[in-house]
Structure 1
Amino acid sequence: MSSEAQGSEVAGWRAWLLSSSPASRSQARLGRAYIGWLSFRANHLAMLGLGIVLLLVLVAIFAPWIAPYDPNAQILADRLQFFSSQYWLGTDELGRDIFSRIVHGARLTLYIVILVAIIAAPIGLAVGTTAGYLGGWTDTVLMRITDIFLAFPKLVLALALVSALGPGIENAIIAIAVTSWPPYARIARAETLTIRNSDFISAVRLQGAGRMRIIWSHIVPLCTSSLVVRVTLDMAGIILIAAGLGFLGLGAQPPLPEWGAMISSGRKVLLDQWWVATVPGIAIFVVSLGFNLLGDGLRDVLDPKTGGQG
């Protein structure tokens, strides 16, 4: 196919997506998504955040092929080596390659944030939409429970839960998820309150739809975009809490290459061998920044209050 034919085909697809009178619901949805992508792509910082997150995902997937060494292999003769062609980011106090541990640590970081999002977001969405739509005593009880969880700082409550459950990455994930769902419930409830008396909800109710069907089929989809933005913005906080638990020895346990635990072990030699703690700290900073930039970009596109696609 010639370049002119390819250009003509691309222009045809673009015109089809941007049509002001779509012929089907699928065309309308794809067109709306394409307009959102164009808006997102114009935000250079958001694209930078997307690039960082995609890089994290790729590093996590291909970690065994990227890392030059076993992340747990100890070579005591090479302990505390500075940057070199053999050890790109140096070695730690046990002679383990820091670059390999950072690469494999990306898997743990992604594992934590995905599981926390999968656990916390649906809980918050279910509680918030149910409370907002049903109202009355149901709303009062659910929101007071939410307020109890919100009354404690996330890290403090996570520390208390992990202390009760015992150290370990699974318990840390549970603790972080338990502390993360209340803000999602608040957002979902606020969104539900604005749409529960809308004309289309009244029409669905008159057609005989039950409460649960209205909530899950009509209200939940409308709350999802705001929730996605909040979850993306919260990823940085989740990473920091997980790193904090690892730093205190309550998260991932040795010899797992968790970034917070790596900083904890490196603090003992921070003055003389600064790279042992600094490199994982930079990794946490970069990934957290990436999620924040991505969340800001998604908010501009998905939040109708900021002029996004809605």
Structure 2
Amino acid sequence: MTAINLTHAETRRQLRRARLGEFTKFARRFAGNPLGMIGLAILGVLLASAVFAPLLATHDPYLPDLVHRLSPPSFENWLGTDELGRDIFTRILYGARLTLLIVGLVVATSAPIGLIIGAVAGTSGGWVDAVFMRITDVFLAVPKLLLALAFVAALGPGIVNAALAITLTAWPPYARLARAEALIVRDSDYVNAVRLAGGSEFRIVLRHIMPMCLSSVIVRMTLDMAGIILTAAGLGFIGLGAQPPLPEWGAMISTGRKFIFDQWWVATMPGLAIFIVSLGFNLLGDAMRDLLDPHLRRRA
């Protein structure tokens, strides 16, 4: 018994060393991708802005200062002020928190939903696959922003409802992707061996099919984050996302569009923040695809 325990412990140590080696190799390859590093740096700045917003902020993000309303960028207000005299730089910092909150809520819900539906459909086949995929086709047939508008109009404006509405439109691509991966894996030798050993379909899907779909889902997830930000900004722009006085970037652009010709900074600065963050997520997603996509790795 002691010898068996020692063997299991040694096996676990070898697995940990192998995983650490794989992670080190992945990190080294990622560091060799300059565009991916730029995307990672932008994401790091976004995270730091959200976490340390109270320390980095130069003004109160909600306190009006009508004396300095619509002031241009200066040493006192680095990015200028809005129509109520609030510092735009400070509001962009606090808006990073809302952006990360929406992205986190959508990714944490839509990716698992799509992964489960796609893995179950691809593994089961038959009528289960047909029903799940026809439901997926219905959601894919309608443009994302239009469908999100319909859901958030029914649920009511608000940041949580906006995130829920985006989630309801974001899961179908993950389901399609997971189903395609499951169709490839479900008849492989190791899955058939698990079936012959008496493994249930639930265990096969959970322990053997879904992990094989994860790399493709992660790649898709990083590429979708920019689209999530743009959809959330679009909802905020038309007043169905985060409500005033929350410093959501889309809502800031909406209020600043009235001053775009004379006080250009009011709408331009949050728009520039959306552009930079979306670019960062796209660069990061491209790098993750190059490193994690098995088809690209095989081709390389």
The alignment's TM-score, normalised by the length of structure 2, stands at: 0.94
SS in 1 for 2:112: helix
1:117 aligns with 2:130: no
User: Deviations 1:239-281 (Å, cap 9, x if unpaired)?
Assistant: 0000000000000000000000000000000000000000000
Aligned to 2:265: 275
The 4+ residue runs of structure 1 with deviation greater than 4 A are none
- Give 1:151's aligned amino acid: A
Structure 2 unaligned spans of 5+: 1-11
State whether residues 80 and 92 of structure 1, in contact with CA within 8 Å, keep that contact through their aligned partners in structure 2: yes
Is 1:147 matched up with 2:137?
A: yes
Q: Does 1:105 align with 2:95?
A: yes
Counterpart for residue 199 of structure 1: 189
Letter of the 1:60 counterpart = A
In structure 2, what is the Cα distance between the partners aligned to 1:308 and 1:103? 41
Kept in 2, the 8 Å contact 1:302–1:308? The answer is no
Equivalent-residue separation in structure 2 for 1:136 and 1:125 (angstroms): 18
Aligned counterpart, 2:9: none
SS of the counterpart of 2:86? coil
Q: 1:263 aligns with which of 240, 253, 258?
A: 253
User: Paired residue for 1:162, among 146, 152, 155?
Assistant: 152
Change (3 A) 1:67 1:25: same
Cross-structure match for 1:63: 53
Residues in 2 aligned to 1:154 and 1:257: alpha-carbon distance in whole angstroms: 24
**2:4 corresponding residue in structure 1:** none
Identical positions, percent: 61
- Deviation sequence 1:46-93 (CA, Å, 0-9, x none): 000001011101110111111111111100010000111110100000
When the two structures are superposed, what TM-score results if normalisation uses the length of structure 1? 0.91
**Structure 2 partner of 1:222:** 212
Q: Which amino acid aligns with 2:38?
A: L
Q: Which whole-Å CA distance do the structure 2 matches of 1:69 and 1:27 have between them?
A: 49
Letter in 1 for 2:211: P
CA pair 220-309 structure 1, distance change in 2 beyond 3 A: farther
- Output one character per residue of 1:220-245: Cα deviation in whole Å (capped at 9) or x when no partner: 11111110110110000000000000
The residue type equivalent to 1:117 in the other structure is V
Q: Equivalents in 2 of 1:26, 1:232: separation in Å? A: 26
Q: Secondary structure at the match of 2:269?
A: helix
Tell me, yes or no, if structure 1 residue 236 matches structure 2 residue 226.
yes
Match of 2:264, as an amino acid?
Answer: W
1:286 aligned partner:
276
Distance in 2, Cα, partners of 1:308 & 1:120 = 29
- String of CA shifts for 1:108-144, please: whole Å, max 9, x gaps: 0000000100010110000000000000000000000
2: distance between equivalents of 1:129 and 1:179? 18
Deviation at 1:23, TM superposition (A): 7.7
Mapped pair 1:126 → 2:116: yes
Whether the 8 Å CA contact 1:301–1:309 is kept in 2: the answer is no
Shift of residue 308 of structure 1? 7.0
> 2:275 corresponds to which letter in structure 1?
F
Paired residues of 1:302 and 1:309 also in contact (CA < 8 A): no
Tell me, in whole angstroms, the C-alpha distance in 2 between the residues paired with 1:191 and 1:53. Answer: 29
Q: Residue 173 of structure 2: SS of its match in structure 1?
A: helix
Partner of 2:6: none
**AA in 1 matched with 2:101:** Y
Distance in 2 between residues matched to 1:229 and 1:184, nearest whole Å: 10
Which amino acid counterpart does residue 165 of structure 1 have in structure 2? L
Paired amino acid for 2:34: H
Which residue type is aligned with residue 105 of structure 1?
G
Q: CA deviation at 1:167?
A: 0.8
Q: Which residue of 1 aligns with 2:239?
A: 249
Map Cα deviations across residues 21-63 of structure 1 (whole Å, 9 max, x no partner): x981222221112111111111100000001011101110111
Residue in structure 2 matched with residue 33 of structure 1 by the alignment: 23
C-alpha contact 1:35 1:309 (8 A) present in aligned 2: no
CA-CA distance at 1:190 after TM superposition? 0.3
CA RMSD of aligned residues (A): 1.5
- In 2, distance between residues paired with 1:260 and 1:120? 22
In structure 2, C-alpha distance between the alignment counterparts of 1:111 and 1:125, rounded to whole Å = 21
Q: Could you tell me which amino acid in structure 2 is paired with residue 305 of structure 1?
A: H
1:79 to 69, 91, 105: 69
- How many residues align structurally? 289
